[in-house]
């Protein structure tokens, strides 16, 4: 992913190509290693706060603000396999680029997203935050466990799992370049995942 977009990533999916897939797969392979763990409590706390901010924005249905946490060129990936694998060859619950993410938010705001009538109410818990170095000083990988409690209709359900993030420092802040959501039951029937998981 180039830092300076030559096109508007909210209009076209120009950056979703083999280079992007190769980069994402490499970033999410063999990254959770003790020798790469960041032990600086200040940096760890900064990323923990970013994840808590994201959870709050999603729970409060501030989806437009949530989108602003992402880099212009970004992906949102929810594998349907336990190992994640290669999204070019394996089924995914979601593999969205910037344009698709903005489409989802727009559709939810139209009032015609029937899967969100009635609208879900959610509470997200985030824990076990770990930060890992990469070979680039302005890129960090972050892992966190999560549990989403969703109430809709007359039912409350739980969606536990862990998420991996690739953060890049640019534009004077840390932005999410890739978010991989690993549901505990990713390869089972999860019915209608119409909320941002």
More confident residue, 107 or 2: 107
Find the mean pLDDT for residues 102-114: 89
pLDDT at position 55 is 98
The pLDDT assigned to 3 comes to 45
Q: What are the tens digits of pLDDT across the range 4-40?
A: 456 788 887 888 899 999 999 999 999 999 999 999 9
pLDDT, mean of residues 95-108: 93
Q: 34-79 pLDDT, tens per residue?
A: 999 999 999 999 999 999 999 999 999 999 999 999 999 999 999 9
The share of the chain scoring above pLDDT 70, in percent, equals 97
| Residue with the larger pLDDT of the pair 192 and 31 | 31
What mean pLDDT is reported for the chain? 91
Distances, alpha carbon 185 to alpha carbons 78, 97, 118, 182, in Å = 11, 23, 24, 8
Looking at residue 153, what is its pLDDT? 84
pLDDT value of position 2:
53
Per-residue pLDDT, averaged over 156-160, amounts to 94
Per-residue pLDDT tens digits for 113-131: 888 888 899 999 999 999 9
Is it the case that residue 83 has pLDDT exceeding 50? yes
Q: What pLDDT shows up at residue 193?
A: 74
pTM value is: 0.91
Neighbours of 146 (CB within 10 A): 20
């Amino acid at each position: 992913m180039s830092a300076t977009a030559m096109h508007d990533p909210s209009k076209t999916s120009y950056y979703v190509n083999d280079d992007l897939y190769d980069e994402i797969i490499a970033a999410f392979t063999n990254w959770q290693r003790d020798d790469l763990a960041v032990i600086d409590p200040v940096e760890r706390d900064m990323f923990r706060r970013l994840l808590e901010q994201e959870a709050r924005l999603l729970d409060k249905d501030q989806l437009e603000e949530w989108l602003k946490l992402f880099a212009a060129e970004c992906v949102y990936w929810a594998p349907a396999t336990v190992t994640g694998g290669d999204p070019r060859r394996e089924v995914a619950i979601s593999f969205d680029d910037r344009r698709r993410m903005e489409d989802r938010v727009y559709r939810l705001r139209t009032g015609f997203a029937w899967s969100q009538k009635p609208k879900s109410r959610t509470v997200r818990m985030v824990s076990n935050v770990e930060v890992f170095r990469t070979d680039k000083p302005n890129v960090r990988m972050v892992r966190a466990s999560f549990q989403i409690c969703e109430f809709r209709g007359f039912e409350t359900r739980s969606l536990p799992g862990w998420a991996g993030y690739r953060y890049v420092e640019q534009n004077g802040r840390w932005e999410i370049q890739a978010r991989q959501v690993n549901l505990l039951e990713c390869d089972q029937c999860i019915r209608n995942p119409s909320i941002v998981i």
